[in-house]
Structure 1
Amino acid sequence: MSQRTEKIRRQVDQLRADVDALQAVWLAQKHHAAAELEASAERARQAHRIAREAKAVAQAWRRNAILALILAGLTGCVALAISAKATEEPTTPTEDDPAVFDTGRLPGDDTPAQEPEELENELIEAALLASAHRLDNVTVTHYCICQRCCGKSPNHPAYGITASGRRATPYISVAVDTSVIPLGADVLVDYGDGEIHYYRADDTGSGVTDRHIDLCVGSHDEALQMGRRTATVYWVDSEGGEVI
């Protein structure tokens, strides 16, 4: 009887060893498959990032070329106006004309000079606003890429990725209603502080509808602190499309 019991015990031990071996093989295969999946996902993310960056560079080159053409046209108009004014018949100064008296000051002394770069920026900004679509009384809110704002945890494959496929960039990316502003558009915001703030329509959101944009900032505390504002918004479709 004891020999039979011993035999059964050995068989049970052997079965346990076989089960442990099978479990070890299964765990190794599972770990290998998970590693392969993660590597594949990383390769896909890298390829997507490279393609996204290449597209961004191409769009920047195209936008700069358009701005250069606009600036050249404006510069040509200014040059023609100056040339036409210079060819006008000079008027004869009278005694009542202050120009006949030498005060030691040149014409235009009371007008502050502008740096060439400032003038160029103003011309580019004016050209953009002239060709942009205007939206009044737009609500501006703020968000960050945290789980409370976007619903994605840091280990989520799409954490920090916007609806356009770009990575959310603080103070550049803005969520829009695509029925009002298309993805990829340049968004110019006037808060009434004398400056034009430049953003890019990278994202969408379930709460972003109609005349409402949601600006990406650096942290959740900053998003709460920035709160809600009202502004005039101009947008220019980088793809050359029309208003939807």
Structure 2
Amino acid sequence: MSQRSEKYARDMGRRLDQLETTMTDVLGETAGVWELRRNAANRARREARRADRWRCTAWLAITAMVLSLCLTLKVKADATPVGESPIESTPIVAVVQEDYENEKIEAAMLESANVIEDCTVTWYTADTCGKKPGDPAYGITYSGLPVGDHLTCAVDPNVIPLYSDVFIQYQDGEIEQLWATDTGVKGNAVDIYTPDYDYAIRCGRQSLTVWWVGPEGVAD
């Protein structure tokens, strides 16, 4: 082999070594880049899975809270008597005690009251008093006080003094307390005010037991 050929061969070998070194470096860098990309992708997937698990856990927690609240409200509703508020209710003992006190007061008043057996009881409305709406005296009783539902009753002042407390026992045993502030009836009779004309007609005329307690300063 000539010297030129030998030199050429050495140059080629040196270039091949450099090329191999360069390729190794390039491949190494490429592998590093791919490794970084792979690691980043793995981290992204882990974060996505973690976010999915968190969302799933949050929804499960919210669903459990809603179900628990619904169950609690249903239990409270089932345990609450009809007509009583599930949020706040009056203690039973207080209600019983108040009713007992009211019954004692009522019994004491009836014991000292004047009684009228077979008293004629009727019902009237503001429209049946001979006055029309717009009249200044419409809905005004003989005493000057306005009529009141389940309060006002008309009496004969010669039998029951004006402003007396009147107790009427209905056929079902219930006793209602009224106030004698109106007149317009004669004898043993009581006329009860109601704003409902149809109700007055349905009640008609009844014979009931009536008690009355005169106001202070009026001799019985």
Counterpart in the other structure of 2:210: 233
Q: Distance in 2 between matches of 1:162 and 1:173?
A: 9
Q: Distance in 1 between matches of 2:171 and 2:217?
A: 27
Equivalence map 1:136-155=2 (5 Å): 136-146=117-127, 149-155=128-134
| 1:240 CA drift (Å) | 4.0
State the SS of the aligned residue for 2:135. Answer: coil
Where structure 1 has 5 or more consecutive residues not aligned to the other structure, the ranges are 1-113
Equivalence map 1:149-164=2 (5 Å): 149-164=128-143
State the SS of the aligned residue for 2:126. Answer: coil
Counterpart in the other structure of 2:192: 215
Tell whether 2:101 aligns with 1:124: no
Does the 8 Å CA contact 1:160/1:168 hold for their aligned counterparts?
yes
Q: Distance in 2 between matches of 1:240 and 1:232?
A: 25
Q: 1:237 to 1:180 in 2, by over 3 A?
A: same
Equivalence map 1:5-44=2 (5 Å): none
Aligned letter for 1:150? Answer: C
| 1:194 CA drift (Å) | 2.3
State the SS of the aligned residue for 2:161. Answer: coil
User: Deviation per CA, 1:163-206, whole angstroms, max 9, x where unpaired?
Assistant: 0110011221000000000111100011242221111101011x
Q: 1:200 to 1:155 in 2, by over 3 A?
A: same
State the SS of the aligned residue for 1:138. Answer: strand
Count of equivalent residues? 126
| 1:226 CA drift (Å) | 1.4
User: Deviation per CA, 1:34-86, whole angstroms, max 9, x where unpaired?
Assistant: xxxxxxxxxxxxxxxxxxxxxxxxxxxxxxxxxxxxxxxxxxxxxxxxxxxxx
Tell whether 2:165 aligns with 1:186: yes
Where structure 2 has 5 or more consecutive residues not aligned to the other structure, the ranges are 1-94
Q: Distance in 2 between matches of 1:163 and 1:117?
A: 34
Q: Distance in 1 between matches of 2:101 and 2:162?
A: 28
Does the 8 Å CA contact 1:138/1:213 hold for their aligned counterparts?
yes
State the SS of the aligned residue for 2:211. Answer: strand
User: Deviation per CA, 1:217-238, whole angstroms, max 9, x where unpaired?
Assistant: 1122221121111111100112
| 1:239 CA drift (Å) | 2.2
- Percent of aligned pairs with the same residue? 45
* RMSD across aligned positions (CA): 1.4
State the SS of the aligned residue for 1:179. Answer: coil
Does the 8 Å CA contact 1:191/1:230 hold for their aligned counterparts?
no
